[in-house]
Amino acid sequence: MFENAACFKGGIDNWSYYLPRLAVLTGCRLNELARLRVEDINLQGAPYSSINDNTVDKAVKNESSVRKVLLPVDAVTPMTALLTGKTKEQRVFPEFLCNNANGYAPKPSKYFSDLYRNKLGLNGASFHSFRHFATTHLFNSEVKEGLIGSLVGHSVGKMTTDKVYLSGFNDRLKLEVINHLGATYPALDE
């Protein structure tokens, strides 16, 4: 999958390259990534993206979805290239048009579904599979379920219980976990 998208790096459809890599490294939902604005990305110190609903054209799935998502340190260089030349008010992926029913996701969702089914023969896979990969990998690496929930913005089931009782996950611990994903999976610029 990543090899098929490598040719888009730096091109007009660079979202084909960046979106799956960001999803694997952060566990973010497709619409969370598609709605990002340049001002939502901070690459200084401990780099992060802010998932929020602070503008008219942005929405989040639930209250727990509003969060700071730390980025692996090795994501700074490729993210800098992705943001270069854009104003802080611009979306990181401006080519996505908003659809009231599906947010910004229809174009990339259709692209990735077609890629999985027709080119790679992966029936039943979707862009959301990257989110499942990230959470499953962290869970199998014995990261506490509540910490995983706080990273990916979960609010239901056991995740809610752990979040209520174990909410003391600081940025240092979150960064260790995010860097674990980055070390386990190829960097954005590979």
pLDDT tens track for 172-188 = 777 787 787 777 766 56
Token output for 77:
């260089």
Query: Which uninterrupted H or E stretch holds 85?
Result: none
Burial 70-98 (b: 16+ CB within 10 A, else e): bbbebbeebbeebbeeeeeeebbbeebeb
Q: Which of 2-11, 21-30, 166-175, 180-189 has the lowest mean pLDDT?
A: 166-175
Query: Does a structural domain hold residue 20?
Result: yes
Query: Does a structural domain hold residue 67?
Result: yes
- At residue 66, the pLDDT reads 93
Q: What percent of the chain has pLDDT over 90?
A: 16
* Adjacent-strand bridge partners of 67: 51
CATH number, residue 145:
1.10.443.10
Range of the domain at 30: 2-184
Query: Does a structural domain hold residue 190?
Result: no
Number of compact structural domains in the chain: 1
Q: Which of 34-48, 99-113, 116-130 has the lowest mean pLDDT?
A: 99-113
CA distance 106 to 122: 19
In sequence order, which residues have a C-beta less than 8 Å from that of residue 26 and are 6 or more positions away?
49, 69, 71, 134, 151, 152, 178, 181
Query: Does a structural domain hold residue 74?
Result: yes
Query: Does a structural domain hold residue 189?
Result: no
